[in-house]
Structures are given as C-alpha cells and as structure tokens.
Amino acid sequence: MSSNPKEHTEYKSYLEEDGGRKGIYKWILSTDHKRIGLLYLYSMMGWFIIGVVLGLLMKLELIAPGQTLMGAQTYNATFTVHGVIMIFLIVIPGLPAVFGNFMLPIQIGAKDVFFPRLNLFSWYIYVLGGILVIISLFGNGAPDTGWTFYAPYSFKTGTNMLPAALGAFVLGFSSILTGLNFIVTIHRMRAPGMTWFKMPLFPWTLYGTGWIQLLATPVVGITLLMVAGERILGIGFFDPAKGGDPLLYQHLFWIYSHPAVYIMILPAMGAISEIIPTFAKKTIFGYRAIVFSTLAIAFVGYFVWGHHMYTSGMSGAALWAFSLLTFLVAIPSAIKVFNWISTMHQGSITTEVPFLWAASFIFIFMIGGLTGLVLGSLATDVHVHDTAFVVAHFHFIVFGGVGFAFFGAIHYWFPKMFGRKYDKNWAKTGWITFFVGFVSLYGPMFYLGIKGMPRRYFDYLPEFHGPNIISTLGALVMITGFVIILVNLINSARNGEKTTEKNPWGGTNLEWQVATPPPLENFDEIPTIEKATYKYD
Amino acid sequence: MSDSNHHIVSYRTYGLVLVLLLILTGISVAVTQIELSRWATLAALLLATTKSAFVLAIFMHLRFDQRIYRVMAVFVTLVIIAVIVLTFFDYGFR
Amino acid sequence: MSETLAHHDEHRDDEGSKLGIWLFIFTELLFFGGLFVTYAVYRHANSQAFHLAGEQLDVTIGTINTIILLISSMTIAMSITAMQKKDKRATLILIGITLVLALVFLVNKYFEWSAKIEHGIWPGSPLLEELGRGDTLFFGLYYFMTGLHALHIIIGMVLIVVIYVRVQKDKITHDNYQLLENGGLYWHLVDLIWIFLFPLFYLIA
C-alpha cells in the first residue's frame, strides 16, 4: 500500500491543482482523469445544444404538411448531421467519457486510469473528430445520407461524405482507446482486496462496454475506409455495377452499430444501478445477476445486427437467426429491470432528484425495450420498418435511456465533482418538464409509425397532421425543461452553495469516502477493501 | 515477484518454430498443385491456422504467459468466427 | 489476476502495459476482420472468377514475402531473448535484421504492384471494368488488403526504429524492456495477418 508523503500536506481539491499551468492549459494539458471527464462534459454539452437545435428544426419543419422551413435536401442533411452528432459525439462517448473518466478510478480505489496520457489523447482526437464533422458542413454541403451512410448512395452523393466519414473514423478511435484504457485500469488497478465481485456495478458496465468498444468499433472503421475507397478509387466493394453488394455494407455497418447501442446503454444502466440502491437505502438486489446480465448483453448484443436489415433482402435463414438472437438479448435487460424494482421494494425511498431520473428511466426504458420487441419480431417489423415507429423506439431507448441516466448521474455526482449544491426545486421542475415534453414528443410517433408515416421525409400526408403538432409542441416543452436543467447546473457549478460533505446521499461506494471535491490523486492512501463496497449493512 | 516476462525462450526454440513454419508454408504451396477444388480453401485455412497457432503460442509467448491472455485471444477469435458464420446465414442461403 | 509488479520500480506495471498492447492487437484483428468477411462473401459469390484472377498473382514473390515475414518474426522474438540475456549487441543486430527484412518485404510489394499497374490493373482501372466483376472484386480486395497491411508494416518499422534507438541509448534494458516486447507483439500481428492473406490471394489457383 503506497503512501505519498506529499499527500499529508494540506488538502487541495483537484480543481485547485493547476500543475503549474495557467488558464486553459490547466485543462487541455492535464492528464487528471477528473479534468478529462469534465473536458468531455463541456464539449458534449456544446455538441448537444447543436444537436438539439437541429432536432428542433426538424420538428418545426414537421409541424405541418408541406414545406414549412426547408426543402427535402436541407431536411436530409439536417437529420444526417443531427444523427452523426448525437450518435458519434454524444451518446457513444456518453457516460463512459464523462462519468467513467471521473468516477472509475475512484470507485475502484485507484489514483487515475492506467494510461493517463492516452486518456488525454482520446479527448484530443474526440475534438479532432468533431472538427472534421464541422468541416463536412461547408463546400458541397453536409451529407444527406442519414447517419447510417448506406451504400451505394453514400459513395454517389455529391455532398461531403469524406470529411464526415473521416470524422466518424477518428471518433471511433477515441472510443476504442477509452475502452482499452478502462479495461486495463479495471484489470490492473483495483485496490487491494477489491476482487471482481466486490467491485461496484458502474465499473462492471464500463468493463463490458470497453470490450464492445474494442471489438466492434474497428469494424465500422474499416467499413468507412471502404466507402472512402469507393468514393476516391471506385474500388467496387459496394457497387452493384462492379459486382459489389450494398447489403454487405449494411452488414458491416450494423456489426458495429448494433453493439454500439450497448456501448450507449450499459454504462447508463450502471449509473442506474448505483443510484437506486442509494435512494432506497438498500443493497442492490441480485448483484451477481446484474453482473452476468451486463456481460450477457455485451456478448449476445454482438450477434443481433441483422434486425436492422429485415426488409433489405437477406435470406430467410438470416431472418430467423437474427430475430431469435434479438429476443434472447432482451432477457438480460429485463432481468436488470426486475432487479432495480426489487431493490426499491421495501427500501426506504427518498425522492431526491437522481432518484426521480432513475425511476423515470425505468419507465421510459421499458417502453423503448418493449417496442424493440415489436421491431425484433419479423412479421410486425415489416409493417413499421423505416417509419416513425422506429424513430420513437430508438429515441425512447437511447435518448430516454442514456439521456435520463446521464441527467440522473450528473445530479447524483454533481456535489462530489464540483463541491457545490444545486437548487433542488429547479432541478425537479426541470425534470418533470423534460419528462412530460419527452413523452409528448416521441409518444405520438409510435402511433404515426403504425399508421404508416415514413421516417426521414420532410413532408407527410395530411392525415398525420394532428399527432405531429403534439409532437412538435412536446419538443418545445422538452427543450424548455432541458434549458431549466442546464441553467440550474451551470449556475450551481459556478455560484451554488459550496459543500465539502463527503457523502450527501448516503451512498456506499468509495467515491463517497473521499473528500469533496476529490484531491488530485483521489486518495491519501489507497484503501484496502474488506467488504464489498456496494453493500448496505 | 512472479513475472512471466522473465521466462526466457531459447534461440533454439524460436529457430525450431521457424523451421516448422517454413515447412507448413511449403506444404501450403505444394498443396495448391494438387487439384482439391472445394477442399482447397479448407486446407489453406487449416494450414494458416496452424501456423498462426505457433506464432501466437511461441513467438507471442501465449504459451508462457498468464492464462488470461490465452482466454482473451481465444475469445476474440471465436467472436470473429461467429461473425463470419452469422454473415453466411445470409450469404449462404440466398 | 494477481498484481505482479516489477519489484525494482513499484510504479511501473509491465503486465498492464502488455495487456494494453494485446487489447490493441484485438482491435486490429477486428479491423482486418471486416475485410476478411468481405473477402469470404465475395469469394463465395465469385469462386470461379477468384480462382482465375488468383492465377495472375506471382506465387514465388508471395512465398518469398511469407518467408521474409516469418523470419522477421523469429528475429524480433529472439531479440527479446537477447535482451533477457543482457546481450545488447545481439539485441540490436536482431532488431536490425527485422527492420531490413521488413524493408525487403516492402520493396517486393512495390515491384509486385508496379507490375500489376503496368498491366492495367488497379482499383477502378478501365481494364478491370472490362474484365468483369469477379476480377474487380478480387483485385479491389487485393490492393486494399495488401495495401492496408503494407501500411501496418510501415507503422511497425517506425515503431521498431524507435525501439532500436532506445535500446541503443539504454532506455530499454534487461530489467525494463516491455516496450521491446510490445513492439514484438505488434510485429507478430503484422505477420499473422499476412499468414492469412498469402493463401487467400496467392494460393487459390
């Protein structure tokens, strides 16, 4: 057990450590995992605002049939860039980049991640990827292919596919390196006595996620390179005229992009698994079941990609195989939901802000998951594929899932991260506004999809008008809620009541035993773990 | 301090493995002279897999390292194979 | 997994560093894996054409290149043994040979590609269009996969040069040589990929 003599001097929060640097260099040259987590938080906030604006523009276009704000070409570019930003710059980095970076080392009793400089480098290339996406907006115009970049259109379109593809490639690298870093960190840097099954659940999800980042991302990397090869050399991999198969593009693309959704949701579930026990004052129900479910989701989720392609022309054998596997992967997710609810049962619940987000997460996630079964089943999918139903499903499960968990996590760990309190009343107001807006925005889309409204169209038949109005109004309400939340948090981070309380919520893990905010190396002395940190006595 | 890093593989062992690999390479080339048609692919892949196994086990030290590396390497290989198999659920039955 | 730390520097964790490079190797396997999937699919759909197109590749050069890479794998593996035996001179010689072999590989590749290009075969070339789909796909994959592989050889060479210099300057020593080992592992990966590329492109005639 190492003991750094220098730590026995005055406590200094990590925010006060500047490594001898001034201004912005304190941040962009720091290899402190906590600062890097915040760098991601601030970058992602910026991107999120842009992504939301793009989404709002789409909803405003859809408030009435016919052209409202923009024509088809602009609309196509808008939903493409909206998707690229939200997927590659927000939800995939998501909780790992922010809370994984900030909390993982602390939760396992380490002073940083295994490769701190690689960690900072991951953020640098995150920024580079974002710049490439921005570059794609100029010149010939933003790509209009959808974030899925399907061939052959992706190599025929005159728009800026190459910068966008390169941007996605670079962002993929950032994701891979983060996953690699976390896996090595978890293997090698757990505190003495912290066996695998004494580790909290959030790190477990980061571990499973890390493997997906490692093993799935390279496939989309090579696929994007192949598209570049098509555009630059006319190489023919996906060009039917040259013997290529556009469907192969879809296979390769979804071999990554389906596991990608588990990159998104597993850490979100991990955060929920942290929050609920704290506010139920009860040890999580079925810790091992949740661990194995996490690994099962990561593993089985790797083999279900074909469910995005039911109507593309795959063979019958592929259809049933993928549908079967898709149903299988739903099982461990359901197990987690049962365990969360069982944790709450006969617990001593306090409806603090993080708990509100966690409870509503379960509700939203379930709707997303159940509608996923509609899509996973061949006969029903044929009816709703490429309709608004799909859009509703993935917004419920990704935005609802990752988003709600993210908001829950930020409200949970905020005092620890910033040493400040936020206004709980504003936070609750923001939550309920957001929640109501969210359901109003995406709920009607299920109905619209079943009724036949296609996705990715800037226009629709008059009979779809009513629900679309509700949806667009819902967007405005949701955005209002988001603004309330954001302003409250930003304001509180800068001017909120200071706090040095180590454990405001009564949580059990190691992060609640270090100072608030944590010192640079988290611990004065690396602890020795005797009992499982996630347990309530 | 236990450290598999300190396991020293002799020059001789490496040399022997190289000879083995060269022989397997020679067999691969020779085998193409025989008309095997549909078995040709399988033969080529089997030989390549055998060569890889030696590179992984001896050159890359998997045989002498902690078990976790072997477990991971096998796991990743299985995942790749499973992906190819699943893809052929589509292409094999069109 | 037990905590195994080199006792002379309790802050350095060589096993962790090794784990890192192995994980990176796994990403490379999946990276090339996507291309192998593509190859498998297109060969399945165009087996005759691939068979015929394969005859246009020079088995001799391919075999020589295979032998070169296998030897280079041996030499870099041996360099670790030399390092462990505290034989700095042998270490440097073996690393140097690895580097030279890599260069020869690339030179061979250059000649191979030049010959093909002179015959009018390159990605998107008019001749390839004429020859038909099987040939287009075969040579598209050939250039793409061997090209990407060659890029990894170049990266490997840069890595090996860096390692050579560090051994020279005693920054890599017999009790601190994880970088050498990691470089070796990366190099073996490059060899592994070629072990599969060779039969799939050169030996399918």
Point out the residue among B9, B28, B80 whose CB comes nearest to the CB of C203.
Answer: B28
In a domain, C2, yes or no: no
How far is CA C94 from each of CA B15, B18, C64, C158, rounded to the nearest angstrom?
Answer: 13, 15, 20, 16
Can you give the residue range of the structural domain that contains B70? 4-91
Which tokens go with A184?
């090595």
Point out the residue among A187, A218, A236 whose CB comes nearest to the CB of C31.
Answer: A218
In a domain, C101, yes or no: yes
Q: Identify the CA nearest to A15 among candidates A512, A490, A513, A516.
A: A516
* A235 vs C contacts (CB less than 8 Å): 123-124, 140, 143-144
C175–chain A nearest CA distance, Å: 20
**A227, A162 contact by CB (below 8 A):** no
**C197, B51 contact by CB (below 8 A):** no
pLDDT at residue A1 greater than cutoff 80: no
Q: Pick the more confident residue, A535 or A341.
A: A341
Residues C204 and B30: their CA atoms lie apart, in Å, by 12
Residues A222-236 have pLDDT tens digits of: 999 999 999 999 999
Q: Is C14–B1 a contact, with Cβ atoms under 8 angstroms apart?
A: no
pLDDT class for A3, splitting at 50, 70, 90? very low
pTM, rounded to two decimals? 0.95
Residues of chain C in Cβ contact (below 8 Å) with chain A: 1, 3, 10, 13, 15-16, 19-20, 23-24, 26-28, 30-35, 37-38, 41-42, 45-46, 123-124, 129, 132-134, 136-137, 140-141, 143-144, 148
**A441, A62 contact by CB (below 8 A):** no
Average of per-residue pLDDT values in chain C: 93
**A56, A478 contact by CB (below 8 A):** no
How far is CA A361 from each of CA A203, A248, A423, A475, rounded to the nearest angstrom?
Answer: 20, 35, 21, 18
Interface test with A, best of C11, C30, C37, C43 (most A CBs within 10 A): C30
How far is CA C180 from each of CA A313, A466, C17, C190, rounded to the nearest angstrom?
Answer: 49, 67, 11, 16
Point out the residue among B22, B87, B92 whose CB comes nearest to the CB of C67.
Answer: B22
A208–chain C nearest CA distance, Å: 14
Residues A318 and A308: their CA atoms lie apart, in Å, by 12
Residue B84 sits at the chain A interface (C-beta within 8 Å): no
For residue A500, with 0-12 CB atoms within 10 Å meaning exposed, 13-18 middle and 19 or more buried, which class applies?
Answer: exposed
Average of per-residue pLDDT values in chain A: 95
CATH at C71: 1.20.120.80
What's the whole-number mean pLDDT along residues C154-181? 97
User: What pLDDT is stored for residue B3 in this prediction?
Assistant: 47
Q: Which residue of C has its CA nearest to A249?
A: C38
Which tokens go with C163?
């390692």
Phi, psi at residue A67, to the nearest 5°?
-75, 125
Q: In which residue are the tokens 């490639």 written?
A: A169
Which tokens go with A483?
């603004």
What size, in residues, is chain B?
A: 94
Beta carbons within 8 Å of C110's beta carbon, 6+ residues apart:
none
> Total structural domains in chain B?
1
Residues A313 and A164: their CA atoms lie apart, in Å, by 27
User: What pLDDT is stored for residue B43 in this prediction?
Assistant: 87
Residues B73 and C23: their CA atoms lie apart, in Å, by 9
DSSP structural state of residue A463? G
Q: In which residue are the tokens 């992706």 written?
A: A154
Point out the residue among C1, C30, C84 whose CB comes nearest to the CB of B68.
Answer: C1
pLDDT at residue C177 greater than cutoff 70: yes
Residues A94 and A174: their CA atoms lie apart, in Å, by 12
Beta carbons within 8 Å of B26's beta carbon, 6+ residues apart:
none
In a domain, C148, yes or no: yes
In a domain, C140, yes or no: yes
In a domain, C62, yes or no: yes
Residues A305-340 have pLDDT tens digits of: 999 999 999 999 999 999 999 999 999 999 999 999
> Total structural domains in chain C?
1
Which tokens go with A314?
């795959």
**A135, A127 contact by CB (below 8 A):** no
Residue B89 sits at the chain A interface (C-beta within 8 Å): yes
Residues A371 and A385: their CA atoms lie apart, in Å, by 12
Torsion angle of the four alpha carbons B11, B12, B15, B20, in this order, in degrees rounded to the nearest 10: -140
**B36, B43 contact by CB (below 8 A):** yes
Residues A357-415 have pLDDT tens digits of: 999 999 999 999 999 999 999 999 999 999 999 999 999 999 999 999 999 999 999 99
Give percent above pLDDT 90 in chain A.
Answer: 94
Q: Identify the CA nearest to A298 among candidates A377, A216, A411.
A: A216
Residues B46 and B59: their CA atoms lie apart, in Å, by 19
Of all helices (H) and strands (E), which one includes residue A41?
helix A33-61
b/e A166-181 (16+ beta carbons within 10 angstroms → b): bbbbbbbbbbbbbbbb
Q: In which residue are the tokens 């409870």 written?
A: A359
Residues A300 and A326: their CA atoms lie apart, in Å, by 8
How many interface pairs between A and B have CB atoms less than 8 angstroms apart?
36
Give percent above pLDDT 70 in chain A.
Answer: 98
pLDDT class for C6, splitting at 50, 70, 90? very low
Residues A53 and A518: their CA atoms lie apart, in Å, by 35
User: What pLDDT is stored for residue C3 in this prediction?
Assistant: 40
CA-based R_g, chain C, Å? 20
Residues C185 and C204: their CA atoms lie apart, in Å, by 29
User: How far from chain centre, in Å, is Cα A329?
Assistant: 19
Give the residues of chain B that fall short of pLDDT 70.
1-5, 36-38
* C16 vs A contacts (CB less than 8 Å): 114, 184, 187-189
Which tokens go with B44?
């080529």
Residues A45-54 have pLDDT tens digits of: 999 999 999 9
Q: Is A215–B87 a contact, with Cβ atoms under 8 angstroms apart?
A: no
Can you give the residue range of the structural domain that contains C166? 14-202
Residues A20 and A413: their CA atoms lie apart, in Å, by 27
Which tokens go with A406?
């993210």
In a domain, C8, yes or no: no
Q: In which residue are the tokens 């593509």 written?
A: C38
Determine what percent of chain C falls in helix, strand and coil, rounding each to the nearest 5.
80, 0, 20
Chain B neighbours, 3+ Cβ pairs < 8 A: A, C
Kindly report which listed range (A81-85, A205-209, C53-57) carries the lowest average pLDDT score.
C53-57
Residue A6 sits at the chain C interface (C-beta within 8 Å): no
A143 CB-side CA count, 13 A: 31
Phi-psi region of A386 (alpha: psi -120 to 50; beta: other; left: phi over 0): left
Which tokens go with C18?
């090794």
User: How far from chain centre, in Å, is Cα A134?
Assistant: 21
Interface test with C, best of B13, B25, B67 (most C CBs within 10 A): B25
Q: Identify the CA nearest to A75 among candidates A94, A90, A57.
A: A57
Domains and CATH numbers, chain A: 30-512 (1.20.210.10)
pLDDT at residue A157 greater than cutoff 80: yes
Axis-axis angle for helices A116-135, A161-188 (nearest 10) = 160
For residue A351, with 0-12 CB atoms within 10 Å meaning exposed, 13-18 middle and 19 or more buried, which class applies?
Answer: exposed
Point out the residue among C33, C124, C129 whose CB comes nearest to the CB of A233.
Answer: C124
Residues A435 and A82: their CA atoms lie apart, in Å, by 21
Q: Is A215–B91 a contact, with Cβ atoms under 8 angstroms apart?
A: no
